[in-house]
Amino acid sequence: AHNEVSHTMERDKVGKPTDGESHAVSYPPAIVVYIVDPFSYEDADREVHSSTYTLGLLRCYMEMLQFLPARIRNAVSVQIVPCQYLLQPVHSGERRVYSQHLKSLAFSVFTQCRRPLPNSTNFKALTGFGPGLAIDMALKNPERPECLRLYTPPFILAPVKDKQTELGETFGEASQKYNVLFVGYCLSHDQRWLLASCTDQHGELLETCIISIDVPNRARRKKGSARRLGLQKLWEWCLGLVQVTSLPWRVVIGRLGRMGHGELRDWSILLSRRNLQSLSKRLKETCRMCGISAADTPSILSACLVAMEPQGSFVIMPDSVSTGSVFGRSTTLNMQTSQLSTPQDTSCTHILVFPTSAMVQVNTNTSEPIDINFNPINPDGSDGMGLFDLFDNDMVDPDLINILPNSPTTSPVHSPGSHYHQGGDGSKGQSADRMESHEEALNILQQPMALGYFVSTAKAGPLPDWFWSACPQAQNQCPLFLKASLHLHVSSVQSDELLHSKHSHPLDSNHTSDVLRFVLEQYNALSWLTCDPATQDRRSCLPVHFVVLTQMYNFIMNML
């Protein structure tokens, strides 16, 4: 009877789609190792020895990994759980909060479990050519890392289409394929590391890197700049992320803190139009797996440089708002529409952007040198990349490493740009491009090119102390005021059919206010990826890659 039932079930499957078991790629299950921290139960001991205990537990985890096979080792992640989650009694009134904290922990664990990409295919190539054989050869490339792990977020931002794009798709026009890379960076507390993180416009990508800019006294030279080499390494890391895709990219580089003069000068060389055109051409030549169309090859369509800093001179006082008649409206209607209870509700963000002068006015009748008024650094030297100017005469050999998580509890991952380049080496010819860029006349426009104010009722989170050094009183304000400055913008660096399409992108606009407005709107959208299930609101008004950047900063400051 059992055989008849099985034959009947097999016969019923005829004409129906198969389950795909024979052609499906098998992914190894993710293994999470939970380590209970028994040393941080008392509040007094937690402040003094927390870093020592945490590093000891992580060392035990790393020693355990050495005894596991490589296939299992690549699928293992670690999560340290405070013992309060297990030993502290939960009262009836706190059960809901306790369950929400457990939900936050579950989301954190899910985020760090990256999916390993397959290193083999399930089909056989019967000929010596074709796309199947090309894919198989690419997977068996000896330069390919042993295991590439794909970031799998629990939720992403839904794509938003404007009316012009929807109308074009209605009439059969092919939709444009592109992505936007948002990069954030800052210095570590001891000025030894350059920290960076990045994401895309939907939050499907999240990568981090740490670049060493520490120069021992015995290795210091009179010529050379640690700042320039550090930013060059950061730019090469961004190119490595672009190179492992098959899409055109628009790059937005965000500086956490105020921008220094020397830093702006170095970025103007790296992001020059001639340099970006050369890089896009080389990316197209070295990518052997992509199509002929420009929309199927990795390239850089535009790039811009934005800095974010606090603005302490603006304050909103909700209690001072009058409920009287405004613009001729009745008092009753005005009272219904002006109830400012936002700080107790779901957080919101308001954005104000306006352009500034993009022309440097030079008086030709004087022979005195022109002093362009760039943003100065703080007198204490603790602000932003002005610290990088202190390294201007140092020579350094930066190392690109990935030792820290890109979520609060994510296991270390390898940057696709630091070890593997599909179809070739994307860093070849960098020295030639730098020499060509140096030969170009540096034409830095009056700074900033556009200003934007980022007003949010959500908190910024645990940012570095030097971030608030210019206005410490702004740290605890609600709503919070942040100022964004657009320093560089290079648009439409490609001259192919991609740019002759009917649809334009805000980052390709010639109006600096449109560019900065798009960046700040995306920052606000990406901040909702930091949503905390415990509070049902976002953890920070900053985008998710800035939140990860500050987590790396605090980890290095507290643990190393």
Which residue type sits at 100?
Q
Residues 99-104 have a mean pLDDT of 80
The confidence score (pLDDT) of residue 70 equals 80
Report d(CA 190, CA 42) in Å as an integer: 29
Across 85-89, 315-319, 523-527, the highest mean pLDDT is recorded for 523-527
The confidence score (pLDDT) of residue 155 equals 86
Kindly state whether residues 104 and 174 are assigned to the same domain: no
Report d(CA 372, CA 333) in Å as an integer: 50
The answer as to whether 134 is a domain residue is no
Contact predicate 509/503, CB 8 Å: no
The answer as to whether 464 is a domain residue is yes
For residue 87, the surrounding DSSP H or E stretch is helix 84-87
CA distances in angstroms from 80 to 36, 206, 207, 481, 509, listed in the order given:
6, 21, 21, 35, 47
Kindly state whether residues 201 and 98 are assigned to the same domain: no
pLDDT-derived band at 446 (thresholds 50, 70, 90) equals: confident
pLDDT-derived band at 272 (thresholds 50, 70, 90) equals: confident
Q: Return all residues near 267 (Cβ < 8 A) that are at least 6 apart.
A: 231, 253, 305, 487, 488
The answer as to whether 125 is a domain residue is no
Q: Which of 88, 114, 140 is the last residue of a domain?
A: 114
What are the start-end ranges of the H helices in 178-271? 226-243, 261-270
pLDDT-derived band at 255 (thresholds 50, 70, 90) equals: very high
Report d(CA 247, CA 293) in Å as an integer: 10
Residues 224-251: tens digit of each pLDDT: 678 888 999 999 999 988 888 888 899 9
Report d(CA 236, CA 184) in Å as an integer: 14
Residues 2-28: tens digit of each pLDDT: 455 455 445 444 444 444 444 455 667
Kindly state whether residues 108 and 176 are assigned to the same domain: no
CA distances in angstroms from 141 to 120, 137, 244, listed in the order given:
11, 6, 14
The confidence score (pLDDT) of residue 439 equals 38
The rounded percent of the chain whose pLDDT value lies above 90 is 18
Kindly state whether residues 106 and 177 are assigned to the same domain: no
Residues 529-551 have a mean pLDDT of 87
Kindly state whether residues 108 and 215 are assigned to the same domain: no
Residues 492-504: tens digit of each pLDDT: 666 454 444 555 7
Residue 525 has pLDDT above 60, yes or no: yes
Report d(CA 181, CA 257) in Å as an integer: 19
The answer as to whether 6 is a domain residue is no
| Domain of 492, in residue numbers | 166-314+347-361+375-559
* Total tally of structural domains belonging to the chain: 2
Report d(CA 200, CA 178) in Å as an integer: 11
Kindly state whether residues 398 and 520 are assigned to the same domain: yes
Kindly state whether residues 107 and 215 are assigned to the same domain: no
Contact predicate 415/209, CB 8 Å: yes
Kindly state whether residues 91 and 196 are assigned to the same domain: no
Report d(CA 385, CA 264) in Å as an integer: 9
Residues 311-333: tens digit of each pLDDT: 878 877 765 555 444 444 444 44
More confident site: 344 or 145: 145
The confidence score (pLDDT) of residue 423 equals 36
The confidence score (pLDDT) of residue 426 equals 41
Rg (CA), the chain: 26
Residues 63-78 have a mean pLDDT of 86
Q: Return all residues near 471 (Cβ < 8 A) that are at least 6 apart.
A: 310, 311, 312, 313
Q: Which of 114, 130, 146 is the last residue of a domain?
A: 114
The answer as to whether 523 is a domain residue is yes
Residues 283-290 have a mean pLDDT of 67
- φ, ψ at 230 (rounded to 5°): -65, -45
The rounded percent of the chain whose pLDDT value lies above 70 is 57
Kindly state whether residues 62 and 210 are assigned to the same domain: no
Q: Which of 96, 114, 132 is the last residue of a domain?
A: 114
Residues 151-182: tens digit of each pLDDT: 888 888 988 766 666 665 565 555 667 889 99
Residue 542 has pLDDT above 90, yes or no: yes
Lowest mean pLDDT, pick from 103-107, 109-113, 144-148: 144-148
Report d(CA 452, CA 516) in Å as an integer: 7
The answer as to whether 108 is a domain residue is yes
DSSP for residue 465: G
pLDDT-derived band at 359 (thresholds 50, 70, 90) equals: very low
Kindly state whether residues 71 and 173 are assigned to the same domain: no
Kindly state whether residues 436 and 529 are assigned to the same domain: yes
Residue 456 has pLDDT above 80, yes or no: yes
The confidence score (pLDDT) of residue 3 equals 54
Which has the closest alpha carbon to 479: 454, 455, 452? 455
Which residue type sits at 196?
A
Q: Rounded mean pLDDT of the chain?
A: 71
pLDDT-derived band at 400 (thresholds 50, 70, 90) equals: very low
Q: How far is CA 47 from the centre of its chain?
A: 30
Across 75-89, 150-164, 198-212, 490-504, the highest mean pLDDT is recorded for 198-212
The confidence score (pLDDT) of residue 408 equals 34
The answer as to whether 106 is a domain residue is yes
Kindly state whether residues 109 and 229 are assigned to the same domain: no
Strand partners, 531: 538
The answer as to whether 525 is a domain residue is yes
pLDDT-derived band at 292 (thresholds 50, 70, 90) equals: low
Report d(CA 166, CA 326) in Å as an integer: 39
| 313: region left, alpha or beta (phi > 0 left; psi from -120 to 50 alpha) | alpha
